[in-house]
């Protein structure tokens, strides 16, 4: 059974072969002052955070 990442990779390859731009998703926290900022929802977290408590995103 294919994993979600493999399925996404296959789908992106399919789109790229047909001329569509395929951008990679941000895979790391952004920084805002002395806090980590979630790239998905913009929620601010302490530097020790590993998962966004607002939307559940994790790198």
pLDDT truncated to tens, each residue of the chain (59 aa)? 456 667 778 887 888 898 887 765 556 888 878 899 998 898 999 999 999 999 998 88
30 part of a folded domain: yes
Can you give the pLDDT at residue 58? 85
Q: For residue 11, how many other CB atoms are within 10 A of its CB? A: 11
Can you give the pLDDT at residue 25? 53
3 part of a folded domain: no
14 part of a folded domain: no
What phi and psi values does residue 6 have, to the nearest 5 degrees? -65, -40
pTM of the model: 0.51
Can you give the pLDDT at residue 41? 92
Domain tally, the chain: 1
Give residue 46's domain range.
Answer: 26-59
């Amino acid at each position: 059974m294919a994993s979600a990442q493999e399925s996404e990779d296959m789908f992106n390859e399919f789109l790229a072969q047909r001329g569509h731009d395929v951008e990679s998703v941000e895979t790391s926290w952004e920084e805002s002052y002395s806090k980590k900022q979630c790239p998905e929802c913009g929620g601010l977290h302490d530097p020790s955070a590993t998962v966004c408590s607002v939307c559940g995103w994790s790198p």
